[in-house]
Structure formats: C-alpha cells, structure tokens
Structure 1
C-alpha cells in the first residue's frame, strides 16, 4: 500500500510517505509559511520515493485539533491533491498522532496540547496489545487545565505541549512519565491513516473536514 500523510496543525510542518510498511518523511518546525512549505516537502518526498500522486492509494491528514489556519491549510492542500488524482482521504486526530509517538502496548496515554487562550486540547487514548495502535478512550475536548483534572483521567503516561505550558497540569500528573515537547508528526498520521483506510474509513476529497473543538478560533497572543 502507498499512502501520503500531511500535517500542518501545529508549528511542525510534516509530510510522510508510507510504502508497504516503510516510511520516509520530512518535517520543519516553523511558526509560519506552512502553505508553501508543505507543497515543497511533498514534492521532494514523492520524488525521493519515486512515486507519483496517481500511484497512491490514499492521502491521510491531521484533521485537528490545532491552530485554525494550520488545520485549514492541511485540508486545502489534501483536497487539491486528492481531487487532482482522484484519491480518497483519511482524517486522523492530531491528539492520536501524539499518543502514538509515545505509546507502548497496554498504555493509557493522556495527551494535552497547548490551545492558547489558557486552554488545552486533550484526550485519553489506549494502546492495543495486539496492534500497538492507539484508539480513543475518551472524547476529545478543549478547556482549562483544571478541567482535565476534574475529568478524572487515569493515564500511565502523558504527552503534549500542554504539560510544558501549564504548571498546574504538569503538577497534577507529575507521577507519570511525561513527554512535554511532543508534537504531532506525519509519520504517525500515516501509520494510523493506513489502518483507518484498511478499515474502510477512506472518504472522497470533498468530505475532508477539520476538527477544531472550539467555536472561538482566533488565537490570542500571550
């Protein structure tokens, strides 16, 4: 199977090409310029993999939650590429992509990503013993760090930029191994996207949709 994955939901702009279980990837951390950069990275990666768009089976993308502009860029780029090559698309949670990076079979992973406005995007995930893939163990939510505590999340590991941004959150879950600098990557989106596609979750390009979790999407500077 050949699958391209794209993510621009955070300051990390990344793309991955997964061919028969082997992955090559590119990523750049930058606060802006994602629209131009992701196209250049995609072209470079396809050339390295000796693969044309029409050779792909599907395109996966980080559907959010994340920065409003970044999520919209990914949707727009994926729709343009998928329409042109008549390819299905697969949207993958950016929180799940973070969880997948640190997961071991049997883990329960709490992911909290800095959402600005003194809030975090968060969700709890479990890692399956047989496949090593993460699946949701809670709804994905957005709220203050204290709302994560009140929800009674019971992880055995934690990941995401929210733990570095909010001391209250880090203190509440300080007994667990924590990865406070983990950002989503296209590599994990490709892995999860392949599994989702094989499970029949591919959708036409026009159905590619973002997930924001909050109605207010303007980002306030700290």
Structure 2
C-alpha cells in the first residue's frame, strides 16, 4: 500500500511516505512555516520514490491535539488531497504519535504537549507485547499542577510540556522517571506506523469524516487573564 502521512500539530512539520514496506520521511522544526513546507515535502518524497500522487491509496494525518492552526492545516490538507484522489483517510492522535518517540521497554509513557496559556495536552500509555501502545487514561487538556496519573512502575516522559513545566510535572509523578525528553515532537513516521495498521483493519474513513481534535475551544487568553486590563 502507498500512502502519505502528515503531522503539523506542533513546532515540527513532517511528512512520511509509506511505499510498500519502505517508509521515507521529511521533518523540520519550523514554527509558523508549516504551510509553506508541507506540500513541497510531500512532492519531494513522491519524487524520491518515483510515484505520482495518483499512485496513493490513502492519506494519514495527525489529528491533534496541538496548535490550533497546525492541526487545522494538517487535517485540511489531508482532506483536500484525499478528495482529489478519491482515497480514504486515517486520523491518528498526535499524542499517540508522540508517545511512540519514547524508548521501547516496559515503562509507561507520558506524552505531554505544551498547550500554552499555562496548560498541557497529556495522555498516559502502556506498550503492549506486540509493540503497539494503548491508553492508560484519557487524552485531555489540563494544568501541569493539576496533573493526575495512574500508578505505574516507571515512566518515560516525552514532549514539549516537559520542557516547559518540568519542575511542576516532576512533583506530580510518583514513580521513577526512566527517561525524559522535552525536545520530542509528534512525527509523521509514527502517524504512518499507526495508520498502516488501521488501513489494514479497515478503519479508514471518507475525507469529510476525518476531523481534527483540539481538546479545547479557547485559543488565546483575554486581556484580563493576561493582566493587561
């Protein structure tokens, strides 16, 4: 199967192409440049593989949560490309894709994205025997200080929320932290990894049913909340 995967929900802009058993990728940390980079990345990957867009059987996309404009861009592009090619779409949680950046062992995984405005997007995961991951709790938006986590033996922590709120998050974690990396972002190669299984399982949907997940509707603080009024 040939399909493109797009992930633009955070500072990282990435595209992956699954071409049979091969996965190739372009990725760049490029805040506010996703709109200019994502389609050229896709075209470069198709050219490298010697494929025309018409050879694609589907599109996968990170559905969020993340930056409002980035999530909207990725999902809109996936919908538009899929409609033009008459192929289905698989959406993948950006928190799930981020969790796959963690080391592969028996520790639980905390994926945590800086949501700005003093909040985080967060979810806890466990790695199954088959290498897949599954939720230990639920995806949510919260403050770092209010973070409640399930009891586990050890944690891997990945994502920009750690870089921003490390001291506070450490106080909320009551198990050994086996690794922590605040410089990790969701990547299209992991969107592709999850999506490949879902395509095989028949979980793709029509483009118009591929929807973003924001977890919150509010995208900015009021002047009062900023202390400017």
Question: Under a length normalisation based on structure 1, what TM-score does the superposition of the two structures give?
Answer: 0.92
Residues 1:107 and 1:200: Cα distance change in structure 2 (over 3 Å): farther
Residue ranges of structure 1 left out of the alignment (5+ in a row): none
1:96 paired residue number: 96
Q: Contact between 2:124 and 2:149, CA under 8 Å: does it hold in 1? A: no
Check if 1:119 corresponds to 2:119: yes
1:73 paired residue number: 73
1:44 paired residue number: 44
SS of residue paired to 2:217: coil
Distance 2:87 2:16 in 1: 16
Q: How large is the RMSD of aligned CA atoms in angstroms?
A: 2.0
- TM-superposed deviation, 1:103: 4.2
Q: Contact between 1:103 and 1:134, CA under 8 Å: does it hold in 2? A: no
1:110 paired residue number: 110
1:203 paired residue number: 205
Structure with higher Rg: it is: 2
Distance 1:19 1:107 in 2: 32
- TM-superposed deviation, 1:152: 3.8
2:176 paired residue number: 175
Q: Contact between 1:15 and 1:38, CA under 8 Å: does it hold in 2? A: yes
SS of residue paired to 1:72: helix
1:141 paired residue number: 140
Residue ranges of structure 2 left out of the alignment (5+ in a row): none
2:30 paired residue number: 30
Distance 1:187 1:46 in 2: 15
Aligned pairs, number: 220
Question: Under a length normalisation based on structure 2, what TM-score does the superposition of the two structures give?
Answer: 0.89
Distance 1:219 1:11 in 2: 20
Moved more, 98-107 or 14-23: 98-107
